[in-house]
Structure 1
Amino acid sequence: MGKPSSIFLVIYSENLGVPYPPAFADPNTAGSRILGGVNYASAAAGILDESGQHYGQRYSLSQQVLNFETTLNQIRTLMSGGNLTEYLGKSVAVLVFGSNDYINNYLMPSIYSSSYYYNPPDFANLLLNHYTRQLLALYSLGLRKFLLAGIGPLGCIPNQRASAPPDRCVDYVNQILGTYNEGLKSLVDQLNTHPGAMFLYGNTYGAVGDILNNPSTYGFSVVDKGCCGIGRNQGQITCLPWVVPCSNRNTSVFWDAFHPTEGVNAILAQRAFNGPPRDCYPINVQQMTLIY
């Protein structure tokens, strides 16, 4: 669910013993194939319907919830009501939302007016209010176990660093994310008061910050530019067909101007899966899967 990096789904699939979830939009995603999970990710999609609209068609959070309902109707034809309730109760929904609402909305004042109408705390609360409604909709449909990933330090992605002094992140961008991340963690506590609910908060900001502050510990040496696109101006591009990637992506934190590499995503997924409360709150994903 959401715009998760595929490695999140891969790591969780491997650890939970289920196949890699097929994409919702794949015509072959039907029948028994959907019982191992479905990937509803959509590039540039956000919590708000308008986020990322300059890129064209995409599935926002609200549409992804509707897409899940479509899948759920298919599942109802494959199992009885009691089995469906048990199936949904044991399922894990991974939602990675919020980054695009900043990168492809709030931080683009030439295209979107949100930064003129909302100060950072108010915009964060706007996102959280929209997010809460959709999470409760998913809960009402029968899902009970959720991992909600926080937003990482966006001020440190190459797209933002391209406008900052050398070797510096954009502090303002990182600072405005605090209300959202803190609010999301508090929201987890609120949602966990619902009967049978188990919501987790993944501390993406802390985990990525640790990697950026101690790259050599994790085997990385390039933290300020993407593997696909090199140089100070590369902050404005993604991975284009004529751009030659770096020779060793394993040493880079970022794949392009916006996204972390597979190696970083694997670390984030593993820390959420079996890390301590500072990585995944209040318990980790592995512990959550043992709760019935």
Structure 2
Amino acid sequence: MSYGTRVLIFIFLVIRCGFSKGEQTVVPAVYVFGDSLVDVGNNNYLRISVARADHPYYGIDFPTHKPNGRFSNGKNAADFISEKLGLATSPPYLSLTAKSNANKNNVSLDGVSFASSGAGIFNGTDELVYEDMKREADAAALQKRLSKSIFAVVIGSNDLFGYLQSSNLRKKITPQQYLDSMVFSLKVQLQRLYNLGARKFEIAGIGALGCTPVFRVRNKTECITDGNYWPIKYNEGLQSMLKEWQFENRDITYSFFDTYAAHMDLIQNPASYGFREIKAACCGFGELNARGLCLPLSNLCSNRQDHIFWDLFHPTEAANRIFVDKMFDGSSKYTSPINMRQLVAA
């Protein structure tokens, strides 16, 4: 979805369409906001988008063995989060509103995904339909349901990647100023969700961009320093903002997942997790399979389980599973101030 973080606003439409039956216990729903790391097919419904995982070899290890919009050989982090919570994967929002969907008004009560490949923190929108929502749902019941739901936010990589790749941006604004702007803009979006009743947030930081195949291939296969330094600085700023935000809104509960720490752990200790290849992508062209996108005529590794990276940007299903394991039950090395299991119980 080229509309970037305006996905953070569409939660209004979900509740307006989907709040109809009795309350569920513990976690009634999961709402996912983010980019291609958690996109489960929204981009497949966009006519004008090159960021689509609707062709082989994407989905080769998914239960259907077919491409399904996930930028992975199999399941991604959104799938594993839902599994941990005992829920079905939240469906793509656009699949529920598509003209071909005869039941397009029956939005899943288990949650909805607004994640879209290419989405970023910037390029948001101020178009709200909260007044419509209030007219069509009981306010007290709506508040109770939202307060128990999990709001998973995985965003920011595209913004930082775009900055690092843009000489024009780097001339206009310093890296730290750009990161500060990212953090501030995300806080504004999160506050909008809070104002509607969201109380439990799972928020992921940015991973080691400099160690992705697309960066390594430009640096004689080694990680690029800037690509790792600035994600660390962004994650520090994000954590500071979240602490401040919680102080301002005392009924917020959140778990921050340090994607960078988890990412580097796999890269530095691959054998401990069953990986053998830490640099090259499984699917792609040229050196490190990082000179081109994963396409039907790409090179494809024979064992996806021993690769950390699926394509030049994204992790394999095996790596995604480990990330979510750490997100859900990880120690303070990976999660703060609590992990996701504790977030659910809070």
User: What range is the shorter-chain TM-score in?
Assistant: 0.7 to 0.9
2:138 to 80, 90, 111: 80
2:323 to 258, 268, 274: 268
**2:82 aligned partner:** 13
Counterparts of 1:1-292 in structure 2, within 5 Å, are 1-3=33-35, 4-5=37-38, 6=40, 7-26=76-95, 27=98, 28=101, 30-49=104-123, 62-63=124-125, 77=136, 80-103=138-161, 105-109=162-166, 113-166=168-221, 168-193=222-247, 194-232=249-287, 234-291=289-346
User: Aligned-pair distance for 1:135?
Assistant: 0.8
Distance 1:290 1:72, change over 3 A: farther
Bigger RCO of structures 1 and 2 (CA < 8 A, at least 6 apart): 2
Q: Cα deviations across residues 192-232 of structure 1 (Å, max 9, x unaligned)?
A: 22131112211000000000001111011111111002542
Equivalent pair of 1:31/1:74 in contact (CA under 8 Å): no
Q: What SS does the corresponding residue of 2:280 show, helix, strand or coil?
A: strand
Give the count of matched residue pairs: 271
Q: What SS does the corresponding residue of 1:47 show, helix, strand or coil?
A: coil
- AA at the equivalent of 2:111: G
Which contiguous aligned blocks of 4+ residues in structure 1 show a shift greater than 3 angstroms? 28-33, 69-77
Equivalent pair of 1:21/1:36 in contact (CA under 8 Å): yes
User: Aligned-pair distance for 1:75?
Assistant: 9.5
Equivalent pair of 2:284/2:291 in contact (CA under 8 Å): no
Q: What SS does the corresponding residue of 1:289 show, helix, strand or coil?
A: helix
Aligned counterparts of 2:157 and 2:239: Cα–Cα separation in 1: 16
Q: What SS does the corresponding residue of 1:18 show, helix, strand or coil?
A: coil
Distance 1:75 1:39, change over 3 A: farther
Aligned counterparts of 1:89 and 1:114: Cα–Cα separation in 2: 39
User: Aligned-pair distance for 1:70?
Assistant: 6.2
User: Aligned-pair distance for 1:178?
Assistant: 2.4
Q: Runs of 5+ in structure 1 lacking a partner?
A: 50-61
Aligned counterparts of 2:215 and 2:106: Cα–Cα separation in 1: 43
User: Aligned-pair distance for 1:37?
Assistant: 0.6
User: Aligned-pair distance for 1:73?
Assistant: 5.7
Aligned counterparts of 2:77 and 2:199: Cα–Cα separation in 1: 19
RMSD between superposed Cα atoms in Å: 2.2
Q: TM-score, normalised by structure 2?
A: 0.73
User: Aligned-pair distance for 1:233?
Assistant: 6.4
Equivalent pair of 1:24/1:40 in contact (CA under 8 Å): yes
Task: Give the number of the structure whose residues are more often helix, by fraction.
Answer: 1
Equivalent pair of 2:82/2:89 in contact (CA under 8 Å): yes
Q: Runs of 5+ in structure 2 lacking a partner?
A: 1-32, 41-75
Aligned counterparts of 2:119 and 2:176: Cα–Cα separation in 1: 21
Distance 1:25 1:70, change over 3 A: farther
Aligned counterparts of 1:129 and 1:226: Cα–Cα separation in 2: 33
Equivalent pair of 2:213/2:279 in contact (CA under 8 Å): yes
- AA at the equivalent of 1:270: D
Distance 1:141 1:241, change over 3 A: same
Aligned counterparts of 1:151 and 1:76: Cα–Cα separation in 2: 38
